[in-house]
Structure 1
């Protein structure tokens, strides 16, 4: 932590219970992300039979969520800068609730894909707005931990969804309808919770509503915190004009934007989401039955949750950069071992071991830390638009990953794509080592100056 921040934090106090409360409510958007992310893994064996899916359609159906997420991020960026973070979160919850019902009652493949695309709009909006909102209401010393709460709710969503899928799997060929329909419940809870949230103080200052911003900040911290934060925000917004997507590539902010885009793409092309979305395919290739396939999704969810707590514990201690370096290199090595195990048709137990080690590595590093970095490295004046660009890039990469895996697995064998992902992780390690600077313990305004320097 730098000396300036240390002096500031010695003179202020925080309402930690309030900060954590509003962070968790906002992070329920992450739960929706986790739900729709995981539900497909348990539902795919039923959807293959229901809609007679080939490799191309299996990939497109899975990836249609990402296409909706792209649209959702573009909508969210405009809404976030024009109307505030809170209205966008409310709209995301409403869209998700309606689309969950739409998927559950789908009578054709085209209807299912359209409603899954609509669910993606809600997920995309929440995936951008939830971490952005948390970063903007959190003091610098605990910002990493608080933004990681969003990742925590994602993995809780994944685990609970996997448990529900496993429980519902014995309910016959229509079990997938219940799996998707259950998403309505957390969506409605999120919608109710967002009504209680205050608006982001940084957005309020940008909108010229300083008095409201001061009231929000006074609930978060003491007078010293309110004064210093308002001063920092106002300084960072001096001379700001309305931003467009072209503005995020101006020379002064280009380094931060390029780092954000690359990290977002890397988080997806590292390949771990193939494990989450195609668990059944991976374990089917080594002879596991449907019950074992779905049980493995539960194990993945548990390990993912446990090691997310490890990341939350360390992200403000070890820092962002060391965790990213560990995760990218660790995944590269584990993928090579996993690929070889699948290639020689090792037992399901050995495959499970290496899959769970990969999940633990990802959950400790790339999963939460990428979202933390995206939420904090962009300047205040373009944070909404720049976050949109980065997260749109993330969802494009996710679509490419999940769409191509069934096709690559059909042509190369289930093990083949993992050799490719190992190479991508090694390239990611080299990029982080060369271009990513440490951000822990700095205010958003101090980071803005740092990114300009670098």
Structure 2
């Protein structure tokens, strides 16, 4: 079937019977849905640049402004060590982790599209409040509204993309979320570069332009189809089949639709979805998807570099414009990494990208730490040669993250959860992710002030731990239908000994059916040829 999705590397079930093709309707749904990531990305980029702008610091953080200009051309790890300034960044993520539980209810009861729209409205209001801010309190209120928007968007968009995509290309489609996040960062970096020259209100323009993508996403979401998975989950079977046929471009969707209905029936039989996450049969999803991967994504140190890249470069002796320009370079590397990942993730697999990038990120962090240990922190101006090596090392780290932990940190958890707890599971993913995002954001500048170059050694050590975690515990999920991924744990060297201890594990039923089918087949004897 040219251009279809049949066959592949599915572990079992009806996957080989799935049919379909790439349709214009599907492409439109992916593009509009994925742009929810631009909200997250724009905020990451714009907040990092605004916190290094003189006009912004002079109005809200005059002490930091004075300390910065006392060492304008010298390296000083502690220039920006101010907990209220870091609260400006981290308050958004604390708000996001709380709001994601409300997003879980909306996503489950009203659909993925509804959560995306609620997130867009909240983000729009946050951008408006921040642009009009007259004091730190208004800044924080605006950040909380932005955080609520990100909590809803990050909860719904990865689920939407994973469910709407054919399983053969689910990895590439889901990574549109990371791509739009990276594009949001890059666009914000470019905007910051120019608004930094608009005195004294350029920072207001940077923050207020957040209303642009929020408006575009809300309008686009009005035309989005709901995912067939969500419609089946809410009992809208006729509409679900109609959408599935339109998205796949064929009426031959019986096999996939049956899988969706069976998953929905299993979901309705489960009560207390958040409590169900703690069941022994769901231990792999809890440890890998809900806790491990989202925490490690932030503990890699990447978001610290995104948050504070202009601040880092200024602290290491780069001028204000040079620091913002360096941020544009790192943002471009992140986009490049996301594009590479989209091309290879369904060919090379998730595990390969995690492991290769882990090695590259460790080496990059060690190089940065060595340079800082030898050259910085002594009140000396840096040379262009050393500065170039530092930027190259950071770019190598960023591009490796861009094709691994950045996109896969959202893709893999969204794949692992069965339908009955997918919304609740994704809420925990977002909550854990944003908790560590906020914690790292709040502590990074203080850690850089006190640990100096040692903070990058710490990140390198954490990347070693998370790489070992992936090697030992994560099964490969490429080209496996989303409603059959739970079967992978039957074959995993460790998890098969865990999940089978639960008497309610659905694998027991599958094994019983296979045994009955085999027994039935063995009772059918061939007719003798001598008769």
Flag whether TM exceeds 0.5 (same fold).
Answer: yes
Shift of 1:205: 0.8
Distance 1:11 1:76 in 2: 31
Distance 1:296 1:424 in 2: 25
CA distance 1:376–1:174, change in 2 (3 Å): same
CA distance 1:360–1:6, change in 2 (3 Å): farther
Residue of structure 2 in register with 1:90 after alignment: 117
2:471 to 420, 426, 433: 433
Residue of structure 2 in register with 1:248 after alignment: 277
How do residues 132-151 of structure 1 correspond to structure 2 at under 5 angstroms?
132-151=159-178
Residue of structure 1 in register with 2:342 after alignment: 312
* 1:316 match: secondary structure: helix
Q: Which runs of 5+ in 1 are unaligned?
A: none
Residue of structure 1 in register with 2:356 after alignment: 326
1:101 is aligned to 2:108: no
Tell me the alpha carbon deviations over residues 270-324 of structure 1, each in whole angstroms, 9 at most, x when there is no partner: 1011111111222123211001001011111111111211000011000011101
Shift of 1:219: 0.7
CA contact (8 A) 1:253 1:379 kept: no
Which structure has the bigger radius of gyration?
Answer: 2
Distance 1:57 1:101 in 2: 21
Q: What is the RMSD computed on CA atoms of the aligned residues? A: 1.8
CA contact (8 A) 1:137 1:201 kept: yes
CA contact (8 A) 2:100 2:431 kept: yes
1:297 is aligned to 2:327: yes
Shift of 1:6: 11
Residue of structure 2 in register with 1:387 after alignment: 426
CA contact (8 A) 1:55 1:410 kept: no
* 1:107 match: secondary structure: coil
Distance 1:245 1:175 in 2: 44
Distance 2:413 2:398 in 1: 21
Distance 1:412 1:3 in 2: 48
Q: Which stretch of structure 1 is more off in the superposition, 228-237 or 294-303?
A: 228-237
More helix by share: 1
Distance 1:214 1:451 in 2: 29
Distance 2:444 2:12 in 1: 46
* TM superposition score normalised by structure 2: 0.82
1:275 is aligned to 2:325: no
Residue of structure 2 in register with 1:450 after alignment: 488
Q: Which stretch of structure 1 is more off in the superposition, 268-277 or 324-333?
A: 324-333
2:417 to 360, 365, 378: 378
Shift of 1:378: 0.5
Distance 1:4 1:353 in 2: 42
Residue of structure 2 in register with 1:410 after alignment: 449
Residue of structure 1 in register with 2:390 after alignment: 351
Aligned residues: 453
1:29 to 32, 36, 48: 36
Shift of 1:194: 0.2
Tell me the alpha carbon deviations over residues 184-214 of structure 1, each in whole angstroms, 9 at most, x when there is no partner: 1111010000000111111111111100100
Tell me the alpha carbon deviations over residues 56-97 of structure 1, each in whole angstroms, 9 at most, x when there is no partner: 112221111111210221111111111111111111111111
Q: Which stretch of structure 1 is more off in the superposition, 273-282 or 436-445?
A: 273-282
Residue of structure 2 in register with 1:220 after alignment: 247
Tell me the alpha carbon deviations over residues 386-405 of structure 1, each in whole angstroms, 9 at most, x when there is no partner: 11112200110111111101
